[in-house]
Structure 1
Amino acid sequence: ISQDKLSLLIFPFMYLYLNITQKGISYFKHCSMRETPLTEVNTKNMMNQFSSISSFPNEEMKPLNEGISYVKKSLTRGQSAWSYNLTKLIMPSETTRSALNPSGSNNQISENINNMNNKHNIKKIPKQMDFEQWLVGIVDGDGCFSFSKEGTRYWRFTFKVGQSNYNLRLLYFIKSMLGVGEVNTPNTEKNEAEYRLRRIDLIIQYILPIFDANPLLTSKYFNYMQFRQAILIMNDSSLTSVEKDNLISQIKKETIPINYIAPIWSIINYKVTSKEEAQKVMSKSWLVGFTEAEGSFYIVQKSAERLVHAFEITQKLDRIVLEAISFILPLNVINKKTYFTVITTKKANIVLIIDFFKNTMKGMKSLEYRIWSKSFSTKKQDYLTLLKARNLMRKIRQIRLLPNFKVKKS
């Protein structure tokens, strides 16, 4: 690849970078402060601006306990004990329930879920499987379900997705698809941005149905189940504030078991031995979302005069997730002292990875991927050419918002 060709690629991105850093984040103001939040169409249009750039060779390139029954003991003399049964609310879809419990007792589980959903007015939103699976992948990587006590008996619930603040476009894409919530930059100095939803009724209406129908694959499933149980208790008008506080406090005390594995993996008996088994649990849309949250496209120094393309995903927990990824993508699982990783630098594998992620990502990682993939060739590559591409990717990742930057509230 000639340096002139790479320059055709680099100049538009460098212009974007300089426009951001020198003109007060004008690009992000365009994306994040518009009256209409960034949509999937707008995201694709932005990336299509660079599609005419000179092309390069090979451009394509243990589970949560069955349930928890919380028994409220008499709080005052004369009150009788009662049971708030949250048994077996972990199976979200008919297919999944059948796979996880072939004994035939799924009808009762389904009835329990339907009864609770009806009781708490959980409404299904229109099915958008690709987006929902992508969102679950994002949340498995960078999402958070949290609840904490404020005051004497009030509990605050938050669904949140965090990103570096140069990736506001991903957060606005989530907001535009869900139609609820807000995007904030709580600390520009720490390079933090977040999509957040706190209203209990909206979480129950819009968030729970997605994660009930599309189970989380990581240990965050445990946190989601705690969150789900607690928020439905908080929304139960038949309970007193004291009863709610006692029940939610019990849930909050639960700790995740050692070596916990999300129950969705029971479909394949908690062991991945082939690509076919991995794909029974892990969809492409989920993997794209998870990669946007946790993956890394980069160029690494192999020797004094040799740079190569690399792809990597790391995790501190959930080795089974990386094992499944290693079957879907040509990667090797490596155990480090404090984390697990899947990684490859082989050219044949990079070609497959480029093809897998082409035209899939929604956030700023799509820009990193575009530079990374277009600078790749199966032939011997010029060191200076790859050095320019690596430096450009590093500069893009160093973009920061101005300290006084404020997100416009819609």
Structure 2
Amino acid sequence: MSIENKRYLKDNKYLDWLAGITDGDGCFTISKKGYVSFELTVETSNLKCLYRIKTVFGGNIKPGKGKWHRYKLHHKEGIINIVNSLNGRLRNPVRILQLDKVCALYNIKLLDTPSLNYSSNWLSGFFDADGSIYINTTFVQVFISISQKDKYLLDQIAFVYGGKVYPHGTTNTFKWIVNKKIEVLAMTEYFKKFPLISKKMIRANLIPSIYEGYSRNWHKKRLNMVEEKKWKELLEKWSNYDI
């Protein structure tokens, strides 16, 4: 590992992001022979997230089924580095239990994770994994949300960042939703301080323009009007952010 990459092992902002995306899309596994591996799968459009991890810890990135890519790490030095990096930062109970088994294998003490606070980059990593930003064009309402099978993590997020947690019966999940303008804009300020690595950041950056366009009535249909053209172009950027 280069000196440049080693600095990330002491960079709290990077490590909190790593913990967040791991809580969302990562996992530790131990084979019957006692070999440990770490894996993380993302949509191909967000491949940048995987390279951000591979650059620091090594490992391999391979295409999976459909529009997915998988990062896999299994050499011992890399595993120990990533275990030490995530120890005391994970919040997902499932992921903590996985880490606990790996720590026991390597005689590493499992550390407690402090309470979530606003100035943690953990949410950006978790959002890169499981978050979404979408808009109701009829009412010009922006939604920032995260879905999970369990509401444990979502309740923590709502307590710190606002929004509410709702059951989503059709998918048997829970969803944290921010849709009040003042809270949505507060989240855009958070993402400015703690940028998303995924392409979801493109939509996060467009949110203020969406609200501005609405306040200027760009969304109201006026044939051959400059405002209508601006609104159409803005929605095209919003819709095509993953291209």
User: Which residue is equivalent to 2:238?
Assistant: 393
State the superposition RMSD in angstroms.
Answer: 3.1
User: 2 CA distance for matches of 1:389 and 1:331?
Assistant: 26
Is contact 2:9-2:85 (8 Å) kept?
Answer: no
Instruction: Provide the residue aligned with 1:322 in structure 2.
Output: 154
Instruction: Tell me the residue number matched to 1:334.
Output: 166
Residue 207 of structure 1 corresponds to 82
Return the offset for 1:172.
1.1
- Given the alignment, which residue of 345, 357, 364 partners 2:199? 364
Using the alignment, how far apart are the partners of 2:158 and 2:200 within structure 1? 20
Q: Does the CA contact (< 8 Å) of 1:141 and 1:290 recur in 2? A: yes
Deviation at 1:223, TM superposition (A): 1.7
Q: 1:222 aligns with which of 90, 94, 97?
A: 97
Q: Does 1:160 align with 2:39?
A: yes
Matched with 2:178 is 344
SS at match of 1:132: helix
In the superposition, relative to structure 1, how do residues 200 and 285 fare at CA in structure 2: closer, same or farther (>3 Å)? Answer: same
Q: Please give the residue correspondences for 1:80-99 in structure 2 after superposition, counting only pairs within 5 Å.
A: none
- State the distance in 2 between where 1:196 and 1:141 align: 16
The equivalences for 1:65-214 within 5 A come to 126-149=9-32, 154-176=33-55, 178-187=56-65, 190-204=66-80, 206-212=81-87, 214=88
Distance in 2 of aligned mates of 1:326 and 1:125: 29
Q: Secondary structure at the match of 1:194?
A: strand
Shift of 1:148: 2.9
- 387 and 140 in structure 1: CA distance in 2 versus 1, 3 angstrom threshold: farther
Greater RCO (CA < 8 Å, at least 6 residues apart): 1
Distance 1:379 1:139, change over 3 A: same
Q: Closer, same or farther in 2 for the Cα pair 1:146/1:386, shift >3 Å?
A: farther
Whether 1:293 and 2:138 are equivalent positions in the alignment is: no
1:380 CA drift (Å): 5.5
User: Aligned equivalents of 1:389 and 1:223: distance in 2?
Assistant: 43
Q: Distance in 2 between matches of 1:172 and 1:201?
A: 18
Contact in 2 for aligned 1:185/1:194 (Cα 8 Å): yes
1:355 aligns with 2:194: no
Give the partner amino acid of 2:203. E
Mapped partners of 1:306, 1:386: distance in 2:
14
2:149 touches 2:174 (CA, 8 Å); kept in 1? yes
Q: CA deviation at 1:376?
A: 2.8
Residue identity matched to 1:229? A
The CA deviation at 1:132 is: 0.7
Per-residue deviation, 1:363: 2.5
Percent of matched pairs sharing the same residue: 23
How much has 1:171 moved relative to structure 2? 1.3
User: Structure 1 length as normaliser, TM-score?
Assistant: 0.49
CA distance in 2, matches of 1:296, 1:125: 27
Q: Is the 8 A contact 1:298 1:390 kept in 2?
A: no
In the alignment, the residues of structure 1 paired with residue 231 and residue 73 of structure 2 have an alpha-carbon distance, to the nearest angstrom, of 42
- The 2-side partners of 1:381 and 1:326 are apart by 31
Alignment of 1:267-286 (within 5 A): 278-279=116-117, 283-286=119-122
Distance in 2, matches of 1:297 and 1:386, equals 18
Q: Write the distance in 1 (CA, Å) between the matches of 2:189 and 2:153.
A: 21
Other-structure match for 1:309: 142
Deviations 1:23-69 (A, max 9, x none): xxxxxxxxxxxxxxxx99xxxxxxxxxxxxxxxxxxxxxxxxxxxxx
CA contact (8 A) 2:62 2:71 kept: yes
Residues 324 and 381 from structure 1, CA distance in 2 versus in 1: closer, same or farther, beyond 3 angstroms? farther
What is the distance in 2 between the residues matched to 1:158 and 1:387?
Answer: 46
Distance 2:152 2:29 in 1: 24
| 1:396–1:351 CA distance, 2 compared to 1 (3 A) | closer
Whether contact under 8 Å (1:170, 1:364) holds in the other structure is no
User: 5+ residue gaps in structure 1?
Assistant: 1-38, 41-123, 234-262, 268-276, 400-410
Structure 2 Cα separation of the partners of residues 364 and 225 of structure 1: 32
Cα distance in 2, alignment partners of residues 339 and 388 from structure 1: 34
Q: For 1:352 and 1:208, locate their aligned partners in 2 and report how far apart those are by CA, in whole Å.
A: 33
